[in-house]
Structure 1
Amino acid sequence: MTTLEFSYSLNKLSKSLKPFALKLTRDSDDANDLMQDTVVKAFSNKDKFTEGTNLKAWLYTIMKNTFITNYQKMVRRGTFIDTTDNLHYINSGSNMIENEAYSNFTMEDINYTLDQLEDVYKTPFLMHFKGYKYHEIAKDLTIPIGTVKNRIHIARKILKDELNIYKTKS
């Protein structure tokens, strides 16, 4: 495969790598960086590509390995090593002190939001949360099982919307 053919194939396939990069990094800028690193590595190692094999799979492998390597570098950068005779990690879990203030605020917000729910949604939701099965809730509340599922779904949606401040980056 000539350099021109390889470059054309690489350019054509690089668009299909973007969703995979986004899935790995969960950030658009990091995904673009990963894409760029992958294309540079692929082009600089084009002599290692065996013609007739799957170029797309080869690119996916390069991207995955690049992501893993970058992640490992980032973790190593964040780890401080004590160089005394004991040689232990300063930021190991046994030396961390947890402050429960954040989780207390979170629970207060969750309980407040639950209290604001109408009883028709709150009761089935809390029963399901406590471990009751749908059919048990339907029997106890004398409502159809579909209604139980719908009310639990609505309660979850309301909680999700009201507590969106706690949504994690994804």
Structure 2
Amino acid sequence: MTAIEFTYHIAKVSKSLKPFAVRLTKDSDDANDLLQDTLLKAFTNREKYADGTNLKAWLYTIMKNTFITNYQRMVRKNTFIDTSDNLHYINSLENSTDNDAHNKFVMEDINRAVDSLEETYRVPFMMHYRGFKYHEIAEKLHIPIGTVKNRIHIARKELKDKLSLYAYSF
């Protein structure tokens, strides 16, 4: 396979890699970086790709391995190494306190936003949040599955708008 053909095939498959990258990194910018690293590695190692194998699976494997490698590198970089002789305070929790006030305020805002949704959107959203599948929600509420999906989508969109204050705080 020539470099042009390989590039063409990667371009067709690369759109499906973005959601996987977002799921791994939980951040859009990091997902873009991971996708770029994956495509660069795939292109530079294209001679290792065997014709006839599943290109999409090959790219997913590269992405997963790249993510794991980057994560391990970040953990090693952030590991604290104390070279002092006094090990008394390392891992000592008696002098630390947790302040959960911020989390409490956030949860109150989230609950208030969910409670402010119209009941037609809130009920399917909360059922889905609690683990019900779309078809189970449709059966319980006696509505079509497409309506369930639409109402959950609208609820998410409204919650995103109502909680936009927190979009970049985590």
Change in CA separation of 1:7 and 1:81 when aligned onto 2, cut-off 3 Å: same
Residue 16 of structure 1: aligned partner = 16
Return the TM-score normalized by structure 1: 0.55
In structure 2, the residue matched to 1:82 is 82
Equivalence for 1:2? 2
- Compute the displacement of 1:168 (Å): 9.4
Q: Please tell me whether the aligned partners of residues 34 and 63 of structure 1 are also in contact (alpha carbons under 8 angstroms).
A: yes
Q: What is the DSSP-based 3-state SS (H/G/I as helix, E as strand, rest coil) of the residue aligned with 1:98?
A: coil
Shift of 1:75: 2.2
Per-residue deviation, 1:5:
1.5
Report the CA distance between 1:36 and its aligned residue.
0.5
Amino acid of the residue matched to residue 62 of structure 2? I
Q: Distance in 2 between matches of 1:102 and 1:44?
A: 46
Provide closer, same or farther for how the CA distance between residues 106 and 11 of structure 1 changes in structure 2, counting only shifts above 3 A.
closer
2:97, 2:81 → 1: CA distance?
Answer: 18
How far, CA to CA, are the matches of 2:84 and 2:105 in structure 1? 39
| Deviation readout 1:21-44 (Å, 9 max, x if unpaired) | 112122221111111000000111
Alignment correspondent of 2:41: 41
Post-superposition CA distance 1:126-158 (Å, at most 9, x none): xxxxxxxxxxxxxxxxxxxx8xxxxxxxxxx8x
Q: Which amino acid aligns with 1:72?
A: Q
CA pair 103-22 structure 1, distance change in 2 beyond 3 A? closer
Match status 1:52 vs 2:62: no
Which residue of 2 is the match for residue 73 of structure 1?
73
Percent identity, aligned pairs only? 59
Higher deviation after alignment, 95-104 or 18-27: 95-104
Aligned twin of 2:133:
none
* Cα 1:102/1:46, change in 2 over 3 Å: same
Does the aligned pair in 2 maintain the 1:79–1:89 contact within 8 Å? no
Aligned-partner SS, 2:62: helix
CA distance in 2, matches of 1:20, 1:58: 13
Q: Which amino acid aligns with 1:39?
A: L
Paired with 2:5 and 2:59, the residues of 1 have a C-alpha distance of: 15
| Aligned residue type for 1:73 | R
Query: Matches of 2:88 and 2:73 in 1, distance apart?
Result: 19
- Which whole-Å CA distance do the structure 2 matches of 1:53 and 1:60 have between them? 13
Q: 1:169 to 1:102 in 2, by over 3 A?
A: closer
Once residues 97 and 20 of structure 1 are traced to their aligned partners in structure 2, the CA distance between those partners, rounded to angstroms, is 37
Runs of 5+ in structure 1 lacking a partner? Answer: 118-145, 147-156
TM-score normalised according to structure 2 size: 0.55
- For 2:101 and 2:32, how far apart are their aligned partners in 1? 37
